[in-house]
Amino acid sequence: MDFGLIAQYLANGILLGTMYALVAVGFTLFFGVLDVIKFSHGDVLMLGTFIGFTAWLGLEAVGVTNPWLQLAGVLLCSLAGTALIGAAIANWLILPLKRAPQLNTLLITLMLGTAIREAVRLFYPNGSNPKAFPALLPDASVEIGSFALRADSVILVVSGLALIGALNLVINRTRLGLAIRAVAQDEETARTMGINYTLVVLATFAIGSGVAAFAGIMNGLYYNEINFGMGLILGLIGFSAAIVGGLGNLYGAILGGFLFAGLQVVGSALLPFASAYKDVFAFAVVIALMAWKPTGLIPERSSDRV
Amino acid sequence: MKFNTRKSLRAVVFSVGTSASLLAAVAAQAKDTVELGFIGPLTGGVSSMGLGGRNSAELAVQLRNADPNSKYHYELVALDDECKPNVGVQVATKLATDRKVVGTIAHYCSAVAMGTVDVYHRFGLPMTVWGAVLPDITYGNDYPEITRVNGTMINQNEKAASVMTGLGYKTFAIIHDTTDYGKGHNTYLTQFLTEGGASVVGAFGVTADQQDFTAELTQVKALNPDVVVYAGLTPGGVRVRQQMEKLGIEAVFEGVSGIKSDAFFEGLGGELAEGTMTFLEGAPAEKLPGGAYFLKEYEAAGFDSPPEAYGPFAFAAMDLLIDAVEASGPDRKAIVEYMGGVKEHASITGPITFDDHGQNTVALITAYVAQDGKWVVWEDSEYASGARKLVAPK
C-alpha cells in the first residue's frame, strides 16, 4: 500500500473521528453533570443541522450570497437554536425527572428523539427526502501523489479540533467550567457553596447540544447532504465512543471518537471481507473493549464522584 | 300570454335539465365501484419515483372513469412501502386482506417486492410489478398472481456492458448496496462485462443507507479503474458521486436504473452529475408508442411531480389491470387467469406479452447520459456526437 493511500485513509479517519468526538463530548458532559444518558442527542444534532439548513435557505432568499457570510449565519442560527433546544429539554424533561429512576430519563429522551425525527420527516417541507446541503467552504485541493488533500476537509478538521480544545479550556480554566466540575463532583456541596445548580445544568446541556449542532453542520458541509435519519447512527456512534472512552471523561470521549473512526477505516480498508461489514467490525471491537474495560479506556476517577 | 309561454318554456328546460342530471347520477351509481391497489415508495429517499408511479396509476384510473363505456367505476388505494421490506409486507398484507381490492400494481424497490410476493400469493391477490427489476421477483417463483410489465436487470446489464465496452472502457470498479437489488446488478453486470472482455477490478458491498463511502472510494482510487459503477438507488448514487469528487477520482460514473431520476440532479447539482451514464428498460416516455398521449394526459391532469422513469410502466400496468377487470369481472381468480393469457396486449409502452413466469418479454433498453442537468438518450447526446467527451479510458 503506497503512501498516498495511507494518507487518504488517515485523512478520512481524522475527519470522521473529529465528528464522532464532538458528538461523544455531549454524552459525556451530560453524564458527568447529571448522571443521565440523553438518547435524543443524535436527533437534536439532526434538528440543529436542519435549523442551519433553513437559515441557509433564508439567507439565499434575502439575497446574501457570500459563502462566508452564509456560513456565519448558518453556524450562528444552528448553534444558538440547538443550544436553546438543549437547555429547554434539560429544563422541562430531564431536571423534573431527577428524583425518578434513571431508566425513566433514558426512556423519555429515547422517545423524544423518535418524536423529533418523525416531526422533521413529516412536517419539514419534503422532509422525508435527503436535502442537498450547500458547499460553503472552498473546494481547492492539493494532489500529493495519489492523495487529494482538500481545503474544506482541512478547515473542518481544524475548526472541529479547535472547538474541542476550546471546550476543554472552558471546562478546566473558567468559572463556569469550575462550577460544572463542582456539580459533577458533588451536587449538594456545590449548592451549599453557592453555585446555581439549575443554571449550571442548563448551561451544560446548552453547550453539549451546541457542540453537537456543530458536528451536524460539519457533517452537512462534508457530505453536502443531510436527511432526517442522520442523527440516529451518529448518536449511536457518539454514545459508543463516549462509553468506550470512559463516560464522564472528556478525553475519553475524544479518544473514543477517534478510536471508532479508526476501527471503521481499518474495517473497510484492511480486512478481507466486504466493506459493508465495517460497522459490524467496529461495534464488535467496541463490545470486546467494553468487556475488557467495563468503565472505559480512561475511567472517570472514582474520587471525582464520591 | 307571450310572457307565460316563456315561463313555461323555462320550466320545461329546467325540468329537462334536472332529469338529465338525475339520469347521469343514476348511471354513475349503476356502475359498481372496484378498488385497485397501488404500492410504492411515497416517502423516503426514492419517493420521487413512487409519487411519479402513483400519479401515473391514478391517471390511468381517472381516464378510465371518464370513459362512458367502462363497466365499473374504479378507485385507487395507494399505500406507501417506504422502500423498506418490513413496511412493504405490512401494507401488502393490509391490501391483500381487504376483500374489496381485486388487484394491485406494486413496488419500485426489488428488495421490497422479494418480501411481498409470498403475501400476494397466499391471499391470491393479482399483482403486477411496475418498477422493480430483480429477475427473481418473477423467475424465482411459480406464482401465477405475480406479473411484471417492465424488463429485468438481466437485459439492463447486458446492454450496459455492451455499451460501455463498446466505448473502449476496460476496467470497472463496482460499489453495490447489499440488498437483492444491488447484489443482483453486481452479479449480472460482472457476468456481462467479463464476457465482453472487460474486467471488474474491485467490487464493494455497502449498506443501502450508508453515508460515508470514502473508505471504499479510497480503495477504488488505488485500483484506478476507467469506470466507477454504483449499483443502488439515487441517495447512494448522489453520495458516491459527491465523494468521488472529494477524493479526486477521475473516472466515468455509471449508475443503474435506480439512479435515473430527477432527484439525482437535485441532490447533486448539474455540474457533478454531468457525464453520468445509466440504463433503463423501455425508452423515454416521448419515444414510447403511446408516450405522447401519456405525457399530454399527465400534463393535463396537473400533478405536482413528474412521472419519472417508471411512470409509463405504472400507467401501463394499471391500464392492463383495468382491462383485466373489464374483461373478466372484479374477481381475483378471474383476473389471475386473464393475466396468464396476456399476449400482444396494446399498451403505451408497446405490446405486453407475459411468458410462463408472468414476465413481460420486452428487451428494449435505453442508455442515458446526464447532460446539462437532464437525462439525455445516449444516441441523441452531445457525448455520442463527439461535441463533449466522457473521461477517456486509461
Cβ of B204 within 8 Å of Cβ of A275? The answer is yes
Q: Cα torsion at B113, B114, B116, B121 (round to 10°)? A: 110
- pLDDT category at B69 given cuts 50, 70, 90 is very high
Report pLDDT for A274: 62
Report pLDDT for A145: 74
For the residues B333-356, what does the mean pLDDT come to? 93
Most confident of A157-166, A290-299, B359-368: A157-166
Report pLDDT for B14: 52
Domain assignment present for residue A157? The answer is: yes
Model confidence at B122: pLDDT above 50: yes
Cβ of A129 within 8 Å of Cβ of B239? The answer is no
Report pLDDT for B16: 52
Distance of CA A289 to the CA centre of its chain: 21
A182 and A253 in a single domain? The answer is no
A201 and A221 in a single domain? The answer is yes
Report pLDDT for B1: 45
Among B215, B218, B247, select the one facing A278 at the smallest CB separation: B215
Evaluate whether B125 touches B332 at the Cβ level (below 8 Å). yes
Domain end residue (candidates: A198, A228, A258) = A228
Model confidence at B378: pLDDT above 70: yes
Distance, in angstroms, between A229 CA and closest chain B CA? 10
Model confidence at B286: pLDDT above 90: no
Among A148, A225, A264, select the one facing B267 at the smallest CB separation: A225
Q: What's the mean per-residue pLDDT of chain B?
A: 90
* Cβ-based contacts of B48 with chain A (< 8 Å): 129
Among B211, B238, B247, select the one facing A8 at the smallest CB separation: B247
Q: With an 8 Å Cβ cutoff, is A275 touching chain B? A: yes
- Of the listed ranges A244-248, B34-38, B165-169, the one predicted with least confidence: A244-248
* Structural domains counted in chain A: 2
Domain assignment present for residue A3? The answer is: no
Report pLDDT for A303: 43
Domain end residue (candidates: A172, A200, A228) = A228
Concatenated DSSP letters for B20-77? HHHHHHHHHHHSEEEEEEEEE--SSTTHHHHHHHHHHHHHHHHHHHH-TT-SEEEEEE
Percent of chain B with pLDDT over 70: 92
Domain assignment present for residue A2? The answer is: no
Q: With an 8 Å Cβ cutoff, is A129 touching chain B? A: yes
Distance of CA A294 to the CA centre of its chain: 22
A155 and A290 in a single domain? The answer is no
Q: What whole-number distance in Å separates Cα of residue B363 and Cα of residue B393?
A: 28
What's at A32, amino acid-wise? G
Cross-strand pairs, B365: B281
CA A206-A18-A295 angle, to 5 degrees, is 75
A186 and A252 in a single domain? The answer is no
Report pLDDT for A300: 66
Q: What's the mean per-residue pLDDT of chain A?
A: 89
Report pLDDT for A277: 80
Residue A173: CB atoms within 10 A of its CB come to 10
A107 and A203 in a single domain? The answer is yes
More confident position, B71 or B287? B71
Backbone angle region of B168, left / alpha / beta, with phi > 0 → left and psi within -120 to 50 → alpha:
left
- Of the listed ranges A144-158, B51-65, B230-244, B338-352, the one predicted with least confidence: A144-158
Cβ of A278 within 8 Å of Cβ of B247? The answer is no
Domain assignment present for residue A144? The answer is: no
Report pLDDT for B332: 96
Domain end residue (candidates: A201, A228, A255) = A228
Cβ of A130 within 8 Å of Cβ of B247? The answer is no
Cβ of A141 within 8 Å of Cβ of B243? The answer is no
Most confident of A28-37, A123-132, B95-104: B95-104
DSSP class of residue B273?
H
Q: Quick one: B95 exposed, middle or buried, by C-beta within 10 A (0-12, 13-18, 19+)?
A: buried
Under 8 Å CB pairs connecting chains A and B tally to: 89
Distance, in angstroms, between A226 CA and closest chain B CA? 9
For the residues B266-282, what does the mean pLDDT come to? 87
- pLDDT category at B8 given cuts 50, 70, 90 is low
- pLDDT category at A143 given cuts 50, 70, 90 is confident
Report pLDDT for A146: 72
Domain assignment present for residue A17? The answer is: no
- Residues from B in contact with A at Cβ < 8 Å: 43-45, 47-48, 178, 204-207, 209-212, 214-216, 218-219, 221-222, 235, 238-239, 242-243, 246-248, 263, 266-269
A160 and A291 in a single domain? The answer is no
A191 and A109 in a single domain? The answer is yes
Report pLDDT for B5: 53
Q: With an 8 Å Cβ cutoff, is A270 touching chain B? A: no
User: Is the whole model's pTM more than 0.80, yes or no?
Assistant: no
Domain assignment present for residue A179? The answer is: yes
Note the pLDDT tens digit of each residue in B169-201. 999 999 999 988 999 999 999 999 999 999 999
Note the pLDDT tens digit of each residue in A6-15. 888 888 899 9
Model confidence at A301: pLDDT above 90: no
Q: With an 8 Å Cβ cutoff, is A299 touching chain B? A: no
A261 and A187 in a single domain? The answer is no
Give the best residue of A19, A152, A265, A268 to mutate against chain B (max B CB count within 10 A): A268
The x, y and z cell numbers of residue A115, run together, are 418524536
Q: Cα torsion at B257, B259, B263, B267 (round to 10°)? A: -170
A224 and A239 in a single domain? The answer is no
Model confidence at B24: pLDDT above 60: no
Evaluate whether A133 touches A53 at the Cβ level (below 8 Å). yes
Q: Domains of chain B by range and CATH?
A: 31-151+285-363 (3.40.50.2300), 154-281+367-385 (3.40.50.2300)
Distance, in angstroms, between A133 CA and closest chain B CA? 9
Q: What whole-number distance in Å separates Cα of residue A233 and Cα of residue B210?
A: 10
Q: At what angle do helices A230-245 and A3-34 cross, to 10 degrees?
A: 80
A167 and A269 in a single domain? The answer is no
A173 and A303 in a single domain? The answer is no
Report pLDDT for B15: 54
Model confidence at B11: pLDDT above 70: no
Report pLDDT for A266: 86
Model confidence at A47: pLDDT above 90: yes
Q: What whole-number distance in Å separates Cα of residue B49 and Cα of residue B41?
A: 7
Domain assignment present for residue A20? The answer is: no
The boundaries of the domain holding residue A283 are 231-306
- pLDDT category at B363 given cuts 50, 70, 90 is low
Model confidence at B391: pLDDT above 70: yes
- In order of A2, A228, B173, B178, B243, the CA distances from B219 in angstroms are 11, 29, 10, 18, 13
Cβ of B239 within 8 Å of Cβ of A8? The answer is no
For the residues B332-346, what does the mean pLDDT come to? 95
Note the pLDDT tens digit of each residue in A66-105. 999 999 999 999 999 999 999 999 999 999 988 888 889 9
* Cβ-based contacts of B45 with chain A (< 8 Å): 128-130, 227
Model confidence at B364: pLDDT above 50: yes
Q: With an 8 Å Cβ cutoff, is A18 touching chain B? A: no
Among B204, B216, B242, select the one facing A224 at the smallest CB separation: B242
Judge if ipTM > 0.85: no
Cβ of A225 within 8 Å of Cβ of B45? The answer is no
Distance, in angstroms, between B372 CA and closest chain A CA? 18
Note the pLDDT tens digit of each residue in B241-251. 999 988 889 99
Model confidence at B314: pLDDT above 70: yes
Note the pLDDT tens digit of each residue in B31-67. 899 999 999 999 887 888 999 999 999 999 999 999 9
Distance, in angstroms, between A257 CA and closest chain B CA? 16
Q: What whole-number distance in Å separates Cα of residue A87 and Cα of residue A110?
A: 17
Cβ of B215 within 8 Å of Cβ of A227? The answer is no
DSSP class of residue B152?
-
Domain assignment present for residue A183? The answer is: yes
Among B45, B214, B248, select the one facing A130 at the smallest CB separation: B45
Question: Which residues, 6 or more positions from A106, have their beta carbon under 8 angstroms from its beta carbon?
Answer: A36, A37, A39
A202 and A220 in a single domain? The answer is yes
Distance, in angstroms, between A12 CA and closest chain B CA? 7
